[in-house]
Amino acid sequence: MTPDPLNHSYYAATANDWRPRPFAGEERADVAVIGGGFTGLAAALACAERGFSVILYEAQHIGFGASGRNGGQLIPGLRWSASQIEAELGRERADALFDLCWRSNRVKARINRHGIACDLKSGHVEAAWTPRDFAAMQREADYLERRFGYATERIAPEEMGAHVATTCYHGGIRDPQGGHFHPLNYALGLARAAEAAGVRLIEERRMTPEEASAKASYVINATDHWIGEIDPALGRYTVPIMNFNIATAPLREADALIPGDAAISDSRFILNYYRLSADKRLIFGGGERYTQRPPRDIAAFVRPFMAELFPQIAAAPIDYGWGGAVAVTMNRLPHVGRRGNIFYAHGFSGHGALVTTLAGELIAEAMAGTAERFDLFANLPARPFPGGKWLQTPLAVLGLLYYALRDRLG
């Protein structure tokens, strides 16, 4: 196993027991899945439930990628607002996408069905960094309620203190359908459920689509930001943005920091996102880097973002610091599709904790012959980054720096 300096995580330290059953049989199956994150695991499990024989290959270990390192924020929807989806894609597609991405919560369904112990909590608050952001959030909340009967709670600026102990925000929206969880334990729970459904899981085995195609009738490429290593054409659709998290020591004042125990993310372009762990640590994500090299001291890199919001815990001990690459597409919508016998889903753009399980399940549905809902995703607008292999990341970074600067200048 490759040692990973970015993986000193609270999640790894509190992971549920996991060891895949050893496997030495013939490696032939109906379906070969490449990648043991949420997407690959959900797809593998759903394929097995539909009667396919399935092998899943994971280059490192289950949950090694973004799925085992993320902020654990379960935020309904996509990176586009529902009103933007309707404006760009029309009423009918908006209706169908709304049902899939907002109304149905397949993560919760999986957790309940398989009894996955992953500290699931309800409630997500989107906090407004500026009054203008709050106005836009309220317009969207009105739209969601009027158009879809989807109820959220508007939090006036003077009421924000009941949700989060900072003076930095200008109001917010609480979505009771959102929430947070321990992402690595969810991934491990999916793996256990997949194994129980007959999926053969092989860790520490790097696979390519060509090798996998020789072993199975269908291949699912679920390698997210690594996708370009094994399929350069698909790699052109995402760039990796490094993102970092810390976990403080358990805090006496934890309940006072986030009284409703919601997941909170704010409306800055480089956003802060945070929540409490089951043992009352603050798990805080903030700051991005556009090179693959991590900062020498992740805790020191993230602490100022936490201290800006919560000066009262500016000097709190930090027990863990870790990070990972978020695969971001040009338009921030996931890139999902099929080429011949190879299915793929990647580029969830920092919004994958809920949508990956859905994407995996829709791949299984399409493979079993009902492609209507899979096609909804496969037909989302998508464009490769300009600039080819060497320039695509620098060009994308320039664009992102522009937005970050705009954010800083208000």
Ligand X SMILES: Cc1cc2nc3c(=O)[nH]c(=O)nc-3n(C[C@H](O)[C@H](O)[C@H](O)COP(=O)(O)OP(=O)(O)OC[C@H]3O[C@@H](n4cnc5c(N)ncnc54)[C@H](O)[C@@H]3O)c2cc1C
In angstroms, what is the C-alpha Rg of the chain?
20
Pick the binder of ligand X from 248, 272, 329, 356 (CB under 6 A): 356
The values of phi and psi at residue 81, to 5°, are -70, 160
The answer to the question of residue 222 lying near ligand X (CB under 6 A) is: yes
**CB of 409 vs ligand X, minimal distance in Å:** 26
Question: Nearest 5 degrees, angle CA 301-CA 334-CA 293?
Answer: 25
Q: Which of residues 186-215 bind ligand X (CB under 6 A)?
A: 206-207
Angle between helices 183-196 and 38-49 in degrees, nearest 10: 20
Q: List the structure tokens of 292.
A: 């693959």
The answer to the question of residue 77 lying near ligand X (CB under 6 A) is: no
Q: Which is nearer to ligand X, 18 or 226 (CB)?
A: 226
Pick the binder of ligand X from 144, 330, 353, 380 (CB under 6 A): 353
**CB of 116 vs ligand X, minimal distance in Å:** 16
Confirm if 373 and 106 have CB atoms less than 8 A apart.
no
**CB of 231 vs ligand X, minimal distance in Å:** 9
Q: Which of residues 282-321 bind ligand X (CB under 6 A)?
A: 285
The answer to the question of residue 235 lying near ligand X (CB under 6 A) is: no
Identity at 329, one-letter amino acid code: T
Pick the binder of ligand X from 43, 52, 58, 313 (CB under 6 A): 58
x-marked contacts with ligand X along 266-285 as a string, rule CB under 6 A: -------x-----------x
Q: Which is nearer to ligand X, 163 or 351 (CB)?
A: 351
Element holding 173 (H helix, E strand):
strand 172-180
Closest by alpha carbon to 357, among 58, 53, 67? 67
**CB of 244 vs ligand X, minimal distance in Å:** 6
The answer to the question of residue 352 lying near ligand X (CB under 6 A) is: yes
Pick the binder of ligand X from 230, 258, 366, 367 (CB under 6 A): 230
Pick the binder of ligand X from 166, 177, 185, 243 (CB under 6 A): 243
The residue length of the chain stands at 410
Confirm if 149 and 170 have CB atoms less than 8 A apart.
no
The answer to the question of residue 226 lying near ligand X (CB under 6 A) is: yes
The answer to the question of residue 67 lying near ligand X (CB under 6 A) is: yes
Helix (H, G, I), strand (E, B) or coil at 201: strand
Q: Which of residues 12-51 bind ligand X (CB under 6 A)?
A: 34-40
Give the other-Cβ count within 10 Å of 111's Cβ: 20
**Residue 228 backbone zone (phi > 0: left; psi -120 to 50: alpha; other: beta):** alpha
Contacts of 135 by beta carbon, 8 Å cutoff, 6+ apart? none
Write out the residues near ligand X by the rule CB under 6 A: 34-40, 57-60, 64-67, 69-73, 75, 206-207, 222-224, 226, 230, 243, 245, 273, 285, 323-326, 346, 348, 350-353, 356
